[in-house]
Structure formats: C-alpha cells, structure tokens
Amino acid sequence: MNRTSISTRHRGFSLLELLVALAISAILLTAAMVALDASFRAYRRTTEEASTHTISRLAMHRLLAMIRTGVDFGPLPANPLDEVVESDFLEVLTPDGRWVVFRWDGDGQRLLIAVDNENGEPGENRVLLGGVEPQFHPDGTPIAPFRLTYEDGWKLRLVTIDLSIAPDDDRSAAISSEPVPSIRLVGSASPRSLGS
C-alpha cells in the first residue's frame, strides 16, 4: 500500500454554512439586545416613579407640617355661615409672622409656593411640585386641591389636601406606549392651636 495515494484532505466550512451560522448569531444578538433594552427601560421607569413618589410625599409632608404649626389661615369663607371652602390656594401665617402661600397653577400643572420676606412684601413664586394634574368629580366638576373646614366662620378645624401627580421626569421611559400611572396623595391636618 502506497502512502502517497491516501488522501489527507481537511474539509473546511462552506460559504452556505458560514452564512447560516452568521444569521443565527445575528438573531440571537438581536433578541438579547431587545431584552436588555426592555430591562433598562423598566428600570428607568421604576426609578423615575419612585423619585416622583418620594418628592411628592416630601412636599405633602411640608404642607401638612405648615398647617399644624400655622397661626392663621386663608382663604376664609365668603359667608361666615359656610363651613367649607374649596380653593386652588392655601395661605398660612407662620409663627414668625410670615405668610406662606401655596397655589396650584392649573395651566402649568404645578404647585407653587411664595413666602413673604422680612418686610412683609409678597415673595416670588417658586415651584414646589411639578406634574400636579387636575382632578374631576364623577359629574365632571373640578376637584380643588385644598379643602378648608371652618368652625364659627373663621376658626380653621381641618385642611384636606388632594393632589394627583403625574411622573414627569422622562416620558420616553414608557414601555410600549403604556400610560404612566399618576400618584394620588390625600392628606389632612388640623392646626395645633385648636384648643386656644
């Protein structure tokens, strides 16, 4: 037997086999990238909702603390026999003699705060909370964010704050056009000086 007649050819991949392997690799990489992108979007959306929730709760806590420590309040009822005033703004006189005004700006969908300066002059409006959406009763009438309950026409008994906040950090984080849910915060407080 002659050793030179035995073929020792090594067979390589054909062009068709390389193209099939390349197509399978491209499909797998595309699927992995789509899953990774969805994961990043979900993470981003969750962190933005958590951030909005935290900021909203801090703003609500500040509002309730101002009510508890407030000395005088507004708006007062137009008729002293009325016990409830629903309003887009809330005025609080602090123990140091400054008026703080919280005002809902429906056009800009934000809650503004203005604090009088030492001279008693009105302060500049600043944004306390953004993304504050309008709310409506089932009959279509708007719900005011501030509800003040008075006794004897002038003595404040309770303030209820009702806010609906839309996460406005980044709307592009929505997954598959899914609407971003609003956060509704409702809180009530009474002034500490009720007994006096």
Per residue in 87-145, pLDDT (tens digit) is 999 999 999 889 999 999 988 889 999 998 777 787 889 998 888 999 998 999 999 99
Q: Is 178 exposed, middle or buried (0-12, 13-18, 19+ CB in 10 A)?
A: exposed
CA distances in angstroms from 108 to 20, 52, 104, listed in the order given: 56, 17, 9
pLDDT at 171 over 60: no
Structure confidence at residue 173 (pLDDT): 46
| Spatial contact of 58 and 193, defined as CB atoms under 8 Å apart | no
* Residues pairing with 113 in the sheet: 102, 126
Q: Which residues of 48-64 are buried (b: 16+ CB within 10 A; e: fewer)?
A: bbeebeebbeebbeebb
* pLDDT band for position 186 (cuts 50, 70, 90): very high
Indicate left, alpha or beta for 50 from its phi (over 0: left) and psi (-120 to 50: alpha).
alpha
Per residue in 16-72, pLDDT (tens digit) is 999 999 999 999 999 999 999 999 988 888 888 888 889 899 999 999 999 999 999
